Structure 1
Amino acid sequence: MLRTVAVLLLEDIAVFEYGVVAEVFGLDRREDGVPKFDFRVCAQDPGAPMRTSSGGRIIADHGLDQVASADLVVVPATTIRDAYPAPVLDAIKAAAEAGSTLLTVCSGAFVLGMTGLLDGRRCTTHWRHVDEFRRRFPAAIVDADVLYVDEGDILSSAGTAAGIDACLHLVRRELGSTVATAIARRMVVPPQRDGGQRQFVELPIPASTADSLQSVLDWMTEHLTTEHTVAALAHRAKMSSRTFARRFVAETGTTPQRWLTMQRVLRARELLESTRMGIEEIARESGFGTAALLRHHFRQVLGVPPQHYRRTFAAD
């Protein structure tokens, strides 16, 4: 169970990436049905002002002795350097040995790489740092084209907003969709983006908010049982099919069909957790139509069949 979260700060910490972790795990949202986490801000020298990468100072309240006992240890982005303090690396390794889950955000993967814990493991980091990461940690298996990687006891995420996706994914994995959705709603972010989406999209995201596809995305989410074609969606967006398809990838990082499939899987997962509907009924309600299609896509996305997921996560 995810109860205690330790965020490990180093000199030149990136404020946004730290803020992502604090926003997800550090705020008391019990009024929204979210359990309160024991959130610990840890550093080698607690109480001492620590420089941030954007200027200013931040102070950690806890020392490294509070890291190994945490259920989750998060290493946010920091300046990439040739070496990191040995006590910090030792604290991370001790946490791993004690059974903690480890999560890195952006360049935090370099810190974990120095521990050797990523050797032979899939991981990711910001696309700008991938080549350097591969040179320094050749034994790690780096995937440069994803938002985050979940290896069970170790999760890593790409730059900036991908840290939000990884944190919410972990909350959903450990505490269920209801809790993750409640946090996402308060943060005004999508409940989940597929970790396999590309982190870097060559097409520029349109500058004009009037051209945003958000209203179309909302409509698709509200009409999951409708058969959506690119032509019909483009008509709703008042665009040509070709322009719509390009714009969709630019805004979401994936294709309309893959995005829709993910939303249907999320809806099915919610129904599996919160209702006693049969698999056939859930397949119809989530837009898959048949239990066979639901099982195929559910297992493809989550790695387990719907019945197995229900036994694990359904509310009593």
Structure 2
Amino acid sequence: MGSACSRDPPATAKDEPQFSGNVGYDTVDTPNSNNSCLLAVKFVSGEKIRVFKYVSDKDDWSICHEIPVGGIFRTLIVQQYMLFIDWVDARRICCYDTTTRAIRTLDPFKEDVFRYYFAAEFQNKLYLFADVEDKRKVHVWDPAKDRWSEAPKLNVGRVHAAAVSHRGYLYVAGGSKSFPHNTELRSVERYDPRGRSWKRCADLVQARCAAGLVSAGAFLYIVGGECSEIPTNMVERYDAQLNKWTQLMCMEIPKHYPACAYYNNCLLACGGPAIDQDCKIVEEFNEAENKWRRRNSMPTQGPYSYMIVTPAWLRQLESLN
């Protein structure tokens, strides 16, 4: 059963989203296991950050690197950098250079600039959302210049949303109008860097915040999240060609802030930010069979981030051991 909550009513015919049929000028599909590697980054307060790599023929995870940074973080990769962003307010952003082992802190903002933020890598830059003064603001860090700037504002201000790069666009989906929750959104928009503008896309079937958003081949998937502070197991797929979200088979376990990835032609979802038994559970969705199944669990409890990297990127990381 999926969550019954549905907020942020869909657009009426009068304000139907204006959407172009152009599905993306970067049409390279998400890579799979023959030319990519799957990593999981574990982050627990007071412990070193541990990076695990997935060994597909054994359906197992092994530690491939440790980073001496303590705290509770989400992880993003931007070029050769691993960025660890403070879980709650992004006050602390640690930057780990995988070519030099250098660790430094990016801290260009005043103390209270972010709350309940969300972030994404897009075109080799970090996009950071949910400025407390204006939830429509978009801050961008360019590693080549080591400088922050602002991108055009979102159409809808939001926190606890999900963002991902997909086929030449940056998508933002769901979230909530404020915190605490109970103001979940169904709205979705995407950023076109050529026109430097955000355009509305079709609304989600299910309003939600704290969800996972994954670029998966030709499609986007939104996974889990929360509605009225209750974790949901609902999953939807977005077809940009049709500008339509479709509800899929629900996961076994409801998940908020799930760690998600698309790997070996399958969608993977792992626990949420809480340190409990469910965080070890990895589920895999095979769309051809329309079925979720359990994979081998993560080796230890704790919140994780998933990411897909090239073999060369992984070799560089392991060379630092």
Task: State TM-score, norm by structure 2.
Answer: 0.26
The TM-score with structure 1 as length reference comes to 0.27
Whichever structure has more helix as a proportion of its residues is 1
Bigger Rg over Cα: 1
